[in-house]
Amino acid sequence: MTIPVDNIHDPATWPTGRAVQLEPLVRRVLAPNASPYTFTGTQTYLVGAGADVAVIDPGPDGGGLAGHADTNGQGHVAAILAALGGARLAAIVCTHTHRDHSPAARVLAAATGAPVIGCAALAIADDGPRADAAFDPDYRPDRVLRDGEDLAGHGWTLTALATPGHTSNHLCYALRESGALFTGDHVMGWSTSVVSPPDGDMAAYLASLARLQTRDDRVYYPAHGPQIDNPRQFVRGMIGHRRQRERQIVSLLGQHARTIPDLVSTMYKGLDPRLVGAAGRSVLAHLIDLAQQGRVANSADVWWVTPDALADADAPA
């Protein structure tokens, strides 16, 4: 799967600042924070068509942190408030706490008095060479939803679905009345997810993808990129893509021991240079997963395959 960076922002097809109706209960407001990591920007969803509405992934707050790709969402909160019209904001709901998703929760809560309900806060030392959007350390939910727990308003019911991997606190939300699933950054319509250790976990990510395959969702609304109308087929493709990356890593390390930059330059030909760091984090996530399976080992920066993995590779399929 390639990452299309050429068509990153086409305002004609991805208008920011106004609500687009997707189905009777769902509207989308795009934040103006396009970047190599966010594609056209963070997509905030409004759920509900009656007296009250839930807002999923309110987005960046637009304040401070000049130059950070994910925090230039000025005007986005105003657009969400305008889209609410006369409806009451029943809940501000976040899929996870990357800075392009949750910081506007505080601004919206201050403006409306609505509670922040959804994923847990994440206490993490953001000290590594992190290539994806950094975490929002100030996120404070009023109520954490457990896996399978419901949040309901007038005519809508959202059920939390624990989907760790992209982050450990990631939740998807299923809209019971319509069969839609809000997938956050777990499954996106434009690119594979960055899985960045230590919080990002490839084994958990693959298990969370497999979990989606057991469901019968009609459509996915991701936080970035177009909606996904063929969920099962799409997820099968994503799992296949990760398994293919895994095989590729084992094969390349079977040739000789390598560093992560060596693997990235061999595996990701023609990658946007701005995404090399993110690719390295995903390769590291695969290596950690493979090491836990006993298939690769390392000393400092150099990785190689274990004799067991070589024997597996030689065995007839």
* Segment 26 to 65, residues that bind Zn ion, using CB under 5 A: none
Q: For Zn ion, which is the closer residue by CB, 25 or 196? A: 196
Q: For Zn ion, which is the closer residue by CB, 191 or 253? A: 191
Beta-sheet strands, E only, within 170-295: 171-175, 180-184, 219-222
**Beta carbon of residue 98, minimum distance to Zn ion (angstroms, whole number):** 3
C-alpha of 307 from chain center: 35
* Burial (0-12, 13-18, 19+ Cβ within 10 Å), 150: exposed
Q: How many residues bind Zn ion (CB under 5 A)?
A: 2
If we measure between CA atoms, which residue out of 315, 298, 297, 316 comes closest to residue 306? 297
289 contacts Zn ion (rule: CB under 5 A): no
**Beta carbon of residue 85, minimum distance to Zn ion (angstroms, whole number):** 29
98 contacts Zn ion (rule: CB under 5 A): yes
Six-digit token string for 286: 């695969």
* Burial (0-12, 13-18, 19+ Cβ within 10 Å), 7: exposed
**Beta carbon of residue 96, minimum distance to Zn ion (angstroms, whole number):** 6
**Beta carbon of residue 285, minimum distance to Zn ion (angstroms, whole number):** 14
Six-digit token string for 179: 């069969």
Residue corresponding to tokens 């958990």: 204
Q: For Zn ion, which is the closer residue by CB, 27 or 101? A: 101
Q: For Zn ion, which is the closer residue by CB, 28 or 98? A: 98
Residue corresponding to tokens 């979990």: 211
Q: For Zn ion, which is the closer residue by CB, 26 or 94? A: 94
Among 52, 57, 185, 201, contact with Zn ion (rule: CB under 5 A): 185
Q: For Zn ion, which is the closer residue by CB, 188 or 283? A: 188
Give the three-state DSSP class for 152: strand
170 contacts Zn ion (rule: CB under 5 A): no
Provide the binding-site residues for Zn ion, judged by CB under 5 A: 98, 185
